[in-house]
A and B are shown apart, each in its own frame.
Chain A
Amino acid sequence: MRKFLILILSFYILALFQTSFLVHFDILGYVLNFILIATILINLFENPQKNLGITSAFIGGFFLDIFSENFLGFYVLILLGVSLFIKFILRKYVRIPTIKRA
């Protein structure tokens, strides 16, 4: 639950930062999407068997939808798609070597 609240607060702040502050510093008309980056990083570095990445995709997507002019669910579906794709790749094709204690 604590993790969940921290995630909501972090993504809310990131969404605000992105939509109110970063829009002034566009690069060739594009603004850095920190929520997308954060979601990808969480999905890449968490245990592929856990679902925090999927949850973060949902929360991040929701806040992006709130502060964008797209219909609700646009970013949620995109981020969920990205998360599921990363999870699928990690579960299916990537083996992370671990050292087991004797």
Chain B
Amino acid sequence: MKLSPKFKIGIIIILLIALFTILNLTPAKKETKNFFYLISSPIQKALWRIGDNISDFFEMVKEIKNLKKENEELKLKIVGLLAENTKLEELKRENEVLRGALDIGLEKEFKLLLAEVIGKDISQDTLLIDLGSRDGISKDFPVINQQKVLVGKIGAIYQNHSKVILISNKESTFDAKILAPYQTEGFGAGSETETYGIVKGKGNLKLFLDLIPREKEIKEGDLVVTAPLGGIFPKGLLVGDIVKVLKSDVMAWQQAEILPAFNFKELEILFVITNFK
């Protein structure tokens, strides 16, 4: 009897299924697997280690690509944050200046406009601020800082910017009062007196007080404030303090050198007085 090929295949498959079923149901499965694991483990370990190292290498390469991208993204983020930080710093500074001005009640005394310094010229004793005719600025408006220190007055005006002529500019001249608390000798000794003079700019951030009556006693450290006589500046704005008194017998008047109360390098935010009584 000759079996057909299909029948043979069928029998082989059935026998295989039977064989594998028996193997799976008996401990022979475990024994078989264990045998192969035992003889293969050295090769498997070596192959595993090599595969692991190579895949680690590729992971690293992939990660480097990502790191580069991530690094670029973070750099962009840093630039954005720096810009934001600068803006916030500026706002903080402006806020502090305004608070300072509020503390001394500047807004009650004058009508003010906040201006930012955008340029400085030491040789000309001028500043450039970001307010112009568009903001309602006019010539000769007084300019002060948040400590109520006189800085100068508006000179040339442009649409968006203005030049501030510092009080130390050679063209600057105005009346001032010396705050000497008590006259110790001579006429009016023991009482508070008023000494007036004229402040003139000498250029290079230097000030000069002229036309002080000879009989008036002034000394180094005396404060100089604006006087209402000229009408250009409101009264009582701090100008500076006397650093050197120049008095001689041949001179009809006394003179004094004044150190301005503002620090030119620190001038960043100023106030323009648009109206004062």
Residues of A within 8 A of B (CB): 12, 16-17, 19-25, 58, 66-67, 71-73, 76-77, 80, 84
Contacts and interface: CB of A to CB of B under 8 A. Distances in A.
B17 A21 contact: no
A16 B47 contact: yes
Interface string B39-62: 010011101101110110010000
Contacts of B43: 16, 20
Given A20-B44, A21-B50, A77-B16, A72 B24 contact: yes
Nearest to B56: A24
Given A19-B44, A25-B55, A66 B32 contact: yes
Contacts of A84: 9
Contacts, number: 57
B32 A73 contact: no
Contacts of A72: 20, 23-24, 29, 32
Given A16-B43, A72-B32, A84-B9, A25 B51 contact: yes
Given A16-B44, A72-B29, A72-B32, A21 B20 contact: no
B20 A24 contact: no
B36 interface: yes
6 contacts: A16-B40, A19-B44, A24-B52, A24-B55, A66-B32, A66-B33
A71 B16 contact: no
Interface residues of B, number: 25
A21 B47 contact: yes
In the complex, the 3 A-B pairs of residues with the closest C-beta atoms, listed nearest first: A73-B20, A24-B55, A20-B47
Contacts of B21: 73
Contacts of B104: none
Given A19-B44, A66-B33, A84-B9, A71 B24 contact: yes
Nearest to A63: B36
Contacts of B19: 73
Interface string B1-44: 00000000100010011011101100001001100100010011
B47 A76 contact: no
Contacts of A12: 40
A23 B17 CA distance: 29
B59 to A, nearest CB: 10
A53 B58 CA distance: 36
Contact of A17 (B23, B29, B47): B47
Given A72-B29, A73-B17, A21 B51 contact: yes
